[in-house]
Amino acid sequence: MNVADSEVVVSILSDAGYETTKNINNAGLILINTCSIRDNAEQRIWGRLKAISHLKKRKNDVKIGIIGCMAERLKEKLLETNHLVDLVVGPDAYRELPLLIAEAEAGHKAVNVLLSREETYADISPVRMDKNGVSSFVSIMRGCNNMCAYCVVPYVRGAERSRNPVSVLKEVKELVDMGYREVTLLGQNVDSYKWKNDDQSIGFPELLEKVAMVNPMLRVRFSTSHPKDISDDLLHTIARHENICNHIHLPAQSGSSHILKLMNREYSREWYMDRVNAIRIIIPECALSTDMITGFCTETREDHEESLSLMELTGFDFAYMFKYSERPGTKAARKYLDDVPEDIKSERLSEMIALQNKLSAKSKKNDIGKVFDVLIEGFSKRSDEYLSGRTSQNKVVVFPAGDLKKGEYVKILIERCTSATLIGKSI
């Protein structure tokens, strides 16, 4: 989401006459796009501000701005306790950036963190910041209506609002015309996408199908799905179209129905496993990834074991795993006691990571001997003699370059693997 937002910001400022630079020492304006979903993300931003403080001291007319979720959540602290920051702009106020920058240049602290019920930036053509020219992001909705107890997103990004499907399809077609071969549709919860006007209602399965039909050579991904909303209709849509990737990111957060209820996730362990089983039946080759939290309020050893068992039963190909960190203003911060000691959180997280490493290794070993269609994204990180790309299942593959080129599809026979990568040859 932050990448997509940054591309919108660059577009707005480019239209206002600004240019980007690769060298921060040459910048007259530095904007830091932020996330507040976890404490460590915010801590990195404070560290980044400290790291660039010398630029302000050396060149006093440099303006520094904090944009995005952290701006919305910590506007007073950013302005009152950090004299480096000249402007603070929330995720729904990017159109005001040229005016706010002018205000900052006049010597005033510039702030706009008002949330909107309508803003989707649908009419703005993002300036693509990705450098491979193969894969890009398309934001289809903003905000979130899921009031998960631990999550700050609804407070910093506001309520859900979906983009007009016409604008989404226009952006996708423009990307195809520019040579892109893969798009990822983005939303805090893409499954709840819903566009309505007087005579039409389009949900996410319909939008996904329309995007897939733009061009059969365009791969389509999406993120993130909420387990309570993922429908058989969506799964059958994925199964019908070869160019919709066989990968679903389905955050579980916990394997304990007790903890899920406290989290206000609106589904149980049984519901989650039902959705996993539906995916396995309708899309047999689909890869699954997830998010998991250890040490949420009141979590017992038994709750943790249920999370581990859910991971084993599902056999996740990949997972993002975190210790619970209390976010101010959330229901969990207001109502629950953060009562799991840090050392226990860390111990459980280590166990979870160790298990996922085994599951990921097993997943990759199961791919040895199989042939996959791989979209080439560029050279591998280690050698220009090898190319790198991804399978429909979102697994990274490395293979000899030969005469192959970026942006092409190639059939790759998987011969071996590392902990993170499949390695093969073109056939």
pLDDT in tens, 328-378: 889 999 999 999 999 999 999 999 999 999 999 999 999 999 999 999 999
pLDDT of 142: 93
What percentage of the chain carries pLDDT values higher than 70? 99
Contact by Cβ (8 Å): 29, 19: no
Strand segments (E) across 118-233: 135-139, 141-142, 161-162, 182-186, 194-196, 201-203, 219-223
Tokens 């996408």, located at residue: 193
CA-CA distance, 234 to 5, in Å (whole number)? Answer: 26
Q: Residue 81: what pLDDT?
A: 64
Residue 78: pLDDT over 90 = no
Question: How far is residue 61's CA from residue 51's CA, in Å, rounded to a whole number?
Answer: 18
In this prediction, residue 54 has a pLDDT band, given cuts at 50, 70 and 90, of confident
| pLDDT of 82 strictly over 70 | no
Q: Where does 41-116 show beta strands of DSSP type E?
A: 63-68, 87-89, 110-112
pLDDT tens figures, 33-53: 988 777 777 888 888 888 888
Q: E strands, 35-191, where?
A: 63-68, 87-89, 110-112, 135-139, 141-142, 161-162, 182-186
CA distance linking residue 315 with residue 177, whole number of Å: 38
Query: What number of other Cβ atoms are within 10 A of residue 62's Cβ?
Result: 18
Average pLDDT estimate for 395-413: 96
Q: Tell me whether strands 141-142 and 161-162 are parallel, antiparallel or unpaired.
A: antiparallel
Angle between helices 269-282 and 232-240 (to 10 degrees): 20
Q: Tell me how crowded residue 1 is: count the other CB atoms within 10 A of its CB.
A: 21
The pLDDT score that the predictor gives to residue 125 is 82
Task: Tell me: pLDDT of 425 over 80.
Answer: yes
> pLDDT tens for residues 209-226?
999 999 999 999 999 999
Alpha-carbon span 331 to 358, nearest angstrom: 34
Tell me the C-alpha to C-alpha distance, in Å, between residue 220 and each of 77, 261, 380. 40, 33, 22
Tell me what pLDDT residue 2 has.
Answer: 77
**Cα dihedral value 208, 211, 217, 220, nearest 10:** -40
- Confidence label for 230 from pLDDT (cuts 50, 70 and 90): very high
In single-letter form, the type of residue at position 250 comes to L
Nearest one of 285, 190, 207 to 246, comparing CA atoms:
285
Buried b (16+ CB within 10 A) or exposed e, 102-125: ebbeeeeebbbbebbeebbbbebe
pLDDT of residue 119: 87
User: Mean pLDDT, to the nearest integer, of 173-180?
Assistant: 95
User: Lowest-pLDDT range, 34-43, 211-220, 245-254, 272-281?
Assistant: 34-43
> Closest Cα to residue 294, out of 323, 256, 260?
323
What whole-number distance in Å separates Cα of residue 248 and Cα of residue 223? 8
Q: Rounded CA gap, 119 and 313, in Å?
A: 41
Pick the CATH number of 2-112 from 3.40.50.12160, 1.10.3470.10, 1.20.1740.10, 3.40.50.300: 3.40.50.12160
**Can you give the pLDDT at residue 36?**
75
pTM confidence score: 0.89
CATH number of 371-426: 2.40.50.140
The string of DSSP codes covering 225-274 is --TTT--HHHHHHHHH-TTB-SEEE---B-S-HHHHHHHT-S--HHHHHH
Neighbours of 358 (CB within 10 A): 11
What are 181's two structure tokens? Answer: 């071969």
Contacts of 125 (CB under 8 A, 6+ apart): 11, 171, 174
Q: What are the residue boundaries of the structural domains of the chain, listed by start? A: 2-112, 371-426
| Summary mean pLDDT of the chain | 93
